């Protein structure tokens, strides 16, 4: 075979190999990729071209019942670096330096970020518009200086703002760094508030800027729904104002609770665990708690049995043990400040529970007008002797009197008439054995007696103490719900804090309607209970909760906690008051509860009842519940001084008399030059208006006398004698009220006609 022939033949072979095998393989491979796995590859390509452009949905707003904003999301931005676009270290250093200046971050760490070979390094979240503007400027600067775009990107983000900071903090709750609800309404209604994140499916290049032309498919972010609470910001503010004041006044150790609820619908108008925390900074520990945490040392470890003997530990181990203990204490402090005591704390309801016990007895008809209960100061149940707070005894009482005296021996007898079985049935019927199901996280269960492992079965003395509310624990929300059932005609309603859910345009998505769980007691029993509790609030143990002009029903309670002393060696008391108004047609119930006052006052009647009265005296007018004064009260009703200045003396006198005031004229002139109190001042009906008719007379002064210890009638008498006016505050209806404070001190020189506020309190009361 010749060389040329061989060459020709081998060349043909070569050609076949190149074309058939080489090109054949290539075409087969391309066909596989483009036809068989084409769809999958295209999906992945599209995903990459689009997936980075997810946009957050705006979280819904939380409104109070009147549409005031309690929680709101505002636009902020997230800064993201694409360091893979940097061309040299000079650029990296420049950007790291400028970013650290703008964002207040560590320059070294930023430089490390800038050195990563990545297209996505998140640098800082939630920057505000001021920083955003600076970043935009920096972007331009980088582009001009180095001709590299898209190294820094800004992504939309949202931040949560709470305009009222600590108002209703444990109810509203807060969100975490990813905008997820962590506590309160924010947690409970998270799925409604969150919304659906959207995607801008405008094509982006790998540098995240828009392509010069594009294929746009936008999936809009669906903003979260808004929540309208039943909470009323005005009522909540009133509540928190008085609660915070009382916490200071009586040195309350462990916060206080107040709930105001619509007795017919279960809508909660206010729910406060005071003091709250700043919702805008929920992880900030209060300075008090901080001090305690900082004081943690080796002794603390031994005292709290964290370690047995610190001398056995090396320095390092000790340091670690201390820092561990500190971080535990920190999270405990935070948990404590977030705790919604109104639904999470359980306590012995004490004497407040007597309204429930008496309701049971009336419903079961085991007491009637002829029933009499004798109290000798103590009562023997099996081996235990139970004392009444009035150790000399209340004598023989009707059931109404028993409640007004808050007499424990009488209630033991009533409890015995009811019997263990019925007691447990009614306990369940009033909703104490179940969570109320309020739409908030963290609700606790009650702890009722169990006898040999059976809940509701009571031991020999259990019924006796239970009948006056001791030795079983319930939550405040359970107590007020039961109180609502007692006074609203016997319906157990579902307490709730959310009224409506709205979409982003304000259309109603869902209305939360009133849910009545069951009829617990009959309307007639409820009617009778209202009367008894109203009388109790006027002349019985609850009289410090009385609000002039309104018909109030209520009951006080004082309980010791089961644990004798807390860690700080303080005896734990709970002082509470639970009441409703108006007593003839109840609209709202209010429970006030202070956990461990340390001032020495710890009776519900002394600590909680006046707070209840103060709160209700503002809340009831706010709710436009009209006042109905008794004839006696009209004496003490405040009114407003008219304008008499510039009139002739006779005209002024006539006008002032018409307005219901007495008149004292000072000076010799014929025209009124000045008056005291001035126009618009508030003073009692029948008070004195002093009219000045010349210059000399207006410099006249009187000394303020002492009002303290006097009754209302006496105070009025003294005031008119001195040409002064009084404004009467506090409990005045019961016969033994006496003045306990006056707004201007004795001996001060004031102009005649000046108004002095005199505060009254009922005489000594026990629960």
Partner 1 sequence: MSTIESTSRRLRSDYEERRRRSSRPQRQKKKFSLLSIGKGLDMPFTLIILVLLAVGITMMFSASYPSAYYQIGDSYYYLKRQLLFAAIGLVIMIAVSFVDYHYYHRFALFILGVSYFALVLVLILPAQNGVHRWVGIGAFGIQASEISKFAIILFLAHWGSRYYDRMDTMKYGVLPALAVFASTSLLLFLEPHYSCIVIIAILTVVMLFVSGIKLKWLIIGGVVLAGLIILLWSTGLLTYAMTRVKGWGQALSASRDDLKLWNDTWQTRNSLYAIGSGGVFGLGLGQSRQKYLYLPEPQNDFIFAIVCEELGLIGAVVILIIFALLVWRGVIISLRARDRFGKLLGIGLVTHIGLQVILNILVITDWLPNTGISLPFFSYGGSSLMMLLFEMGVVLSISRSSNIEKS
Residue 140 makes contact with partner 1 by CB under 8 A:
no
Local structure of residue 186 (DSSP, 8 states): H
At closest approach, how far in Å is the CB of 83 from partner 1? 12
**Residue 16 in contact with partner 1, rule: CB under 8 A:** no
**Between 26 and 678, CB nearer to partner 1:** 26
Options 88, 130, 144, 147; binder of partner 1; rule CB under 8 A = 147
Q: In whole angstroms, how close is the CB of 217 to partner 1 at the nearest point?
A: 13
Q: Which of 35, 369, 563, 631 binds partner 1 (CB under 8 A)?
A: 35
300 token code pair: 């603390």
Based on the shown chain and the rule CB under 8 A, indicate whether residue 701 belongs to the binding site for partner 1.
Answer: no
27 binds partner 1 (CB under 8 A): yes
Q: Does 6 bind partner 1 (CB under 8 A)?
A: yes
Name the strand (E) or helix (H) holding 574.
strand 571-581
- Angle, vertex CA 597, rays to CA 538 and CA 573, nearest 5: 80
Number of residues that bind partner 1 (CB under 8 A): 46
DSSP code at position 439: S
* Residue 30 binding partner 1, by CB under 8 A: yes
Told to check if 38 binds partner 1 by CB under 8 A, we report yes
**Helix (H/G/I), strand (E/B), else coil: 726:** strand
159, containing H or E segment: strand 152-161
Kindly indicate which of the ranges 41-49, 269-277, 541-549, 645-653 contains the residues binding partner 1, using the contact rule CB under 8 A: 41-49
Q: What is the dihedral of CA 593, 599, 601, 602, to 10 degrees?
A: 40
> Which stretch in 179-187, 199-207, 232-240, 315-323 sits in contact with partner 1 by CB under 8 A?
199-207
> Which two tokens mark 170?
């444990």
User: What minimum distance in Å lies between the beta carbon of 135 and partner 1?
Assistant: 20
- Rounded distance between C-alpha atoms, residue 170 and residue 440, angstroms: 10
When the beta carbons of 89 and 455 are compared against partner 1, the nearer one is: 89
- The verdict on 141 binding partner 1 (CB under 8 A) reads no
CB of 84 to partner 1, least distance (A): 8
For residue 106, the minimal CB distance to partner 1 (Å) is 22
DSSP 3-state of 580:
strand
Interface with partner 1, residue 25, by CB under 8 A: yes
Residue 2 CB, shortest distance to partner 1, in Å, is 10
Q: Is 181 exposed, middle or buried (0-12, 13-18, 19+ CB in 10 A)?
A: buried
Residues 44-73 vs partner 1: string with x where CB under 8 A? xxx-xx------------------------
Is 11 among the residues that bind partner 1 (CB under 8 A)? yes
Using alpha carbons, select from 19, 43, 495, 481 the residue that is nearest to residue 229: 495
Q: Residue 293 belongs to what H/E stretch?
A: helix 287-294
Q: Which of 88, 130, 177, 212 binds partner 1 (CB under 8 A)?
A: 212
Residue 19 binding partner 1, by CB under 8 A: yes
Instruction: Mark the segment that binds partner 1 (CB under 8 A) among 198-206, 396-404, 580-588, 628-636.
Output: 198-206
Distance between CA atoms of 661 and 644, rounded to whole angstroms?
12
Please say whether the beta carbons of 273 and 265 come within 8 A: no
Asked if the peptide bond before residue 44 counts as cis, ω within 30 degrees of 0, the response is no
Near partner 1 by CB under 8 A, which window of 202-210, 315-323, 350-358, 476-484?
202-210
> Could you check whether the bond before residue 348 is cis, i.e. omega within 30 degrees of 0?
no
Which of these, 181, 199, 185, 190, lies nearest to 271 by C-alpha position?
185
- CA separation for the pair 427, 17 (Å, rounded): 94
User: Is position 211 an interface residue for partner 1 (rule: CB under 8 A)?
Assistant: yes
Between CA 450 and CA 485 the distance in angstroms is 25
Query: Which is closer to partner 1, CB of 51 or CB of 180?
Result: 51
Largest CA distance in the chain: 156
**According to the binding rule CB under 8 A, does residue 10 interact with partner 1?**
yes
Position among 198, 207, 377, 395 found at the interface with partner 1 (CB under 8 A): 207
* Dihedral sign for Cα atoms in the order 713, 715, 721, 727: negative
The total number of residues shown for the chain amounts to 767
Gap between the terminal Cα atoms of the chain: 129
Query: Judged by CB under 8 A, which of 88, 117, 177, 311 binds partner 1?
Result: 117
The one among 51, 66, 118, 327 contacting partner 1 by CB under 8 A: 118
Task: Provide the binding-site residues for partner 1, judged by CB under 8 A.
Answer: 3-4, 6-8, 10-11, 14-15, 18-19, 22-23, 25-27, 29-31, 33-35, 37-42, 44-46, 48-49, 117-118, 147, 149-150, 203-207, 209, 211-212
């Amino acid at each position: 075979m010749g060389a040329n022939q061989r060459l020709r033949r081998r060349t043909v072979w070569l050609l076949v190999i190149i074309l058939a095998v080489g090109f054949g393989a290539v075409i087969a491979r391309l066909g596989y990729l483009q036809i068989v796995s084409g769809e999958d590859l295209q999906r992945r390509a599209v995903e990459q071209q689009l997936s980075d452009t997810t946009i957050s949905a705006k979280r819904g707003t939380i409104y109070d019942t009147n549409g005031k904003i309690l929680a709101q999301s505002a636009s902020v931005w997230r800064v993201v670096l694409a360091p893979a676009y940097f061309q040299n270290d000079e650029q990296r250093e420049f950007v790291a330096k400028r970013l650290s200046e703008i964002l207040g971050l560590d320059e070294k760490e930023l430089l490390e970020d800038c050195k990563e070979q990545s297209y996505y390094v998140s640098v800082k979240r939630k920057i505000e518009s001021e920083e955003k503007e600076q970043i935009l400027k920096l972007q331009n600067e980088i582009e001009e200086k180095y001709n590299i775009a898209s190294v820094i990107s800004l992504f939309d983000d949202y931040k949560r703002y709470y305009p009222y900071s600590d108002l209703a903090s444990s109810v509203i709750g807060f969100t975490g760094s990813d905008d997820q609800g962590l506590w309160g309404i924010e947690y409970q209604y998270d799925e409604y508030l969150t919304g659906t994140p959207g995607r801008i499916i405008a094509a982006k290049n790998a540098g995240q800027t828009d392509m010069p032309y594009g294929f746009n498919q936008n999936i809009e972010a669906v903003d979260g729904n808004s929540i309208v609470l039943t909470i009323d910001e005005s009522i909540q503010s009133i509540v928190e104002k008085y609660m915070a004041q009382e916490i200071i006044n009586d040195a309350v150790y462990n916060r206080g609770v107040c709930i105001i609820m619509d007795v017919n619908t279960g809508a909660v108008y206010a729910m406060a665990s005071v003091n709250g925390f700043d919702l805008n900074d929920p992880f900030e520990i209060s300075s008090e708690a901080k001090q305690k945490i900082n004081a943690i040392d080796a002794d603390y470890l031994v005292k709290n049995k964290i370690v047995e003997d610190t001398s056995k530990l090396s320095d390092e181990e000790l340091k670690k043990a201390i820092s561990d203990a500190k971080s535990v204490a920190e999270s405990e402090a935070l948990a404590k400040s977030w705790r919604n005591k109104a639904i999470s704390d359980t306590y012995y309801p004490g004497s407040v529970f007597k309204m429930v016990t008496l309701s049971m007895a009336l419903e079961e008809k085991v007491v009637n007008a002829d029933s009499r209960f004798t109290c000798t100061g103590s009562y023997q149940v099996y081996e235990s002797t139970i004392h009444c707070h009035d150790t000399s005894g209340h004598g023989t009482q009707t059931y109404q009197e028993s409640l007004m005296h808050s007499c424990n021996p009488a209630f033991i007898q009533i409890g015995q008439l009811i019997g263990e079985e019925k007691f447990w049935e009614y306990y369940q019927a009033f909703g104490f054995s179940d969570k109320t199901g309020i739409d908030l996280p963290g609700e606790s269960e009650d702890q009722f007696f169990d006898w040999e492992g059976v809940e509701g079965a009571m031991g020999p003395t259990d019924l006796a103490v239970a009948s006056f509310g001791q030795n079983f624990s319930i939550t405040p929300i359970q107590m007020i719900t039961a109180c609502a059932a007692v006074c609203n005609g016997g319906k157990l309603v579902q307490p709730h804090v959310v009224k409506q859910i709205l979409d982003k345009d304000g259309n109603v998505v869902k209305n939360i309607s009133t849910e009545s769980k069951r009829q617990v007691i009959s309307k007639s029993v409820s009617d009778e209970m209202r009367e008894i509790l109203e009388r109790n609030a006027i002349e019985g143990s609850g009289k410090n909760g009385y609000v002039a002009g309104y018909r109030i029903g209520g009951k006080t309670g004082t309980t010791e906690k089961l644990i004798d002393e807390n860690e700080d060696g303080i005896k734990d008391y709970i002082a509470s008051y639970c009441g409703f108004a108006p007593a003839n047609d109840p609209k709202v119930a209010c429970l006030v509860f202070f956990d461990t006052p340390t001032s020495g006052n710890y009776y519900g009647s002394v600590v909680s009842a006046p707070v209840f009265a103060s709160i209700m005296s503002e809340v009831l007018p706010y709710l436009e519940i009209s006042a109905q004064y008794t004839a006696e009260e009209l004496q003490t009703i405040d009114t407003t001084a008219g304008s008499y200045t510039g009139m002739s003396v006779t005209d002024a006198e006539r006008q002032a008399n018409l307005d219901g005031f007495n008149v004292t004229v000072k000076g010799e002139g014929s025209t009124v030059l000045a008056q005291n109190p001035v126009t618009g001042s508030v003073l009692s009906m029948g008070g004195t208006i002093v009219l000045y008719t010349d210059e000399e007379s207006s410099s006249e002064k009187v000394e303020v006398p002492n009002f303290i210890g006097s009754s209302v009638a006496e105070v009025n008498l003294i005031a008119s004698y001195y040409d002064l006016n009084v404004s009467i505050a506090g409990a005045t209806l019961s016969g033994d009220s006496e003045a306990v404070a006056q707004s201007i001190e004795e001996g001060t020189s004031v102009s005649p006609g000046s108004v002095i506020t005199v505060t009254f309190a009922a005489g000594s009361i026990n629960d």
